[in-house]
């Protein structure tokens, strides 16, 4: 009995030490760790007037850094969207190409890629709220309808950890949460054989496919995208920040015929256009023949597609006189 008591006491001390270490030593890396993209500042690290975009807290930003206070004369553009806007890298996204395009015109452009894979309207709106602190001259908001299932799923994970149900009591310990994350994200995602992980991915895709085909879900998600996007645009308008809304188009090839479908975004996004709000549908950028060459799948475009999008954005901004005067060499 005494041996059991000593062992229990030792385990308790060890657990307390781990808990304290997690809460006070590793606290920075734990910020937003279990909010799955719903933590307001996760991924934004502010140090001595510098902002670092990091892969943390459910936000897998491409690593980038910029000054919190916009440098004098800089034209700061922030692109907020999902994996389509994100692209394969900062340099080969339309944010990266737009920066090169504007700099070639003598504009001191600073274009930041805040595209996040799997982010739907609600989580993008949180990013919109955060970038209001960084004095953008222009926000490009990439709008689509394909990630609302992921938003709902990640919201469920977040709320599950907060639940007072007995099954979650241990998860109120950050040390236990971290152990759980290591198990689920390191062991399951990296050490399990590819065939086993493929089965899990297929099951996830099947679950999402079934949910996405439900008419009630489709109606709910469409309403959610509409309402939340309007809210995001209004936040930017109220802050006096010019906004360009880019709407997604999906590519489909059937019987050698290309179809470009915007998931009915054209039904309501024109209503967003105002004095400080422009609209650029991807459907107006790509012809069916171009889409055949430049789309890598039903939604994502190749780097050359991003280059074409950047040129279209730069042209529109110039036509609307939204660009600053070029700096003479």
Residue 249 resides in a domain: yes
pLDDT digits (tens, 9 = 90+) for 102-119: 999 999 999 999 999 999
pLDDT digits (tens, 9 = 90+) for 191-233: 444 444 333 444 454 454 555 566 777 888 899 999 999 999 9
Residue 96 resides in a domain: yes
pLDDT at 25 over 60: no
**Which is more confident, 18 or 270?**
270
CA–CA dist 265, 124 (Å, integer): 17
Residue 68 resides in a domain: no
Residue 165 resides in a domain: no
Query: Nearest Cα to 143, choosing from 224, 23, 45?
Result: 224
Residue 254 resides in a domain: yes
Question: What are the residues whose beta carbons fall under 8 Å from the beta carbon of 322, sequence distance 6 or more?
Answer: 138, 242, 278
CA–CA dist 15, 19 (Å, integer): 6
Question: What are the residues whose beta carbons fall under 8 Å from the beta carbon of 305, sequence distance 6 or more?
Answer: 286, 290, 294, 295
Residue 42 resides in a domain: no
* Contact (CB, 8 A) for 280 and 119: no
Across 67-91, average pLDDT = 97
pLDDT digits (tens, 9 = 90+) for 44-66: 999 999 999 999 888 999 999 99
Q: Domain tally for the chain? A: 1
Residue 327 resides in a domain: no
Residue 86 resides in a domain: yes
Residue range of the domain that includes 79 = 73-149+226-319
Q: What is the CATH number of the domain that holds 140?
A: 3.40.50.1110
C-alpha neighbours within 13 Å on the C-beta side of residue 267: 9
The pTM assigned to this predicted structure is 0.83
């Amino acid at each position: 009995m005494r041996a059991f008591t000593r062992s229990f006491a030792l385990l308790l001390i060890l657990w307390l030490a781990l808990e304290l270490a997690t809460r006070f030593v590793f606290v920075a890396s734990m910020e937003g760790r279990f909010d799955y993209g719903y933590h307001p500042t996760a991924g934004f690290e502010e140090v001595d007037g510098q902002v670092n975009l990091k892969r943390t807290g459910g936000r897998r930003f491409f690593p980038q850094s910029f000054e919190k206070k916009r440098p004098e004369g800089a034209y700061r553009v922030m692109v907020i969207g999902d994996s389509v806007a994100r692209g394969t890298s900062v340099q080969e996204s339309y944010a990266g190409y737009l920066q090169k395009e504007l700099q070639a015109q003598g504009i001191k452009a600073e274009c930041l890629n805040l595209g996040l894979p799997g982010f739907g309207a609600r989580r993008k709106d949180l990013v919109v709220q955060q970038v209001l602190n960084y004095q953008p001259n222009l926000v490009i908001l990439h709008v689509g309808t394909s990630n609302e299932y992921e938003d709902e799923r990640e919201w469920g994970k977040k709320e599950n950890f907060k639940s007072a149900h007995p099954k979650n009591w241990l998860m109120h310990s950050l040390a236990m949460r971290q152990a759980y994350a290591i198990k689920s994200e390191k062991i399951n995602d990296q050490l399990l054989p590819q065939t086993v992980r493929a089965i899990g991915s297929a099951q996830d895709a099947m679950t999402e496919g079934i949910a996405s085909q439900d008419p009630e879900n489709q109606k709910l998600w469409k309403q959610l995208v509409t309402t939340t996007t309007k809210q995001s645009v209004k936040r930017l308008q109220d802050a006096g920040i010019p906004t360009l809304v880019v709407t997604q188009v999906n590519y489909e090839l059937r019987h050698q015929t290309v179809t470009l479908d915007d998931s009915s975004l054209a039904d309501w996004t024109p209503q967003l256009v105002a004095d400080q709000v422009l609209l650029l549908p991807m459907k107006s950028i790509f012809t069916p023949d171009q889409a055949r060459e430049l789309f890598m799948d039903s939604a994502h475009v190749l780097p050359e597609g991003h280059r074409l999008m950047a040129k279209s954005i730069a042209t529109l901004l110039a036509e609307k006189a939204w660009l600053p005067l070029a700096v003479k060499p």
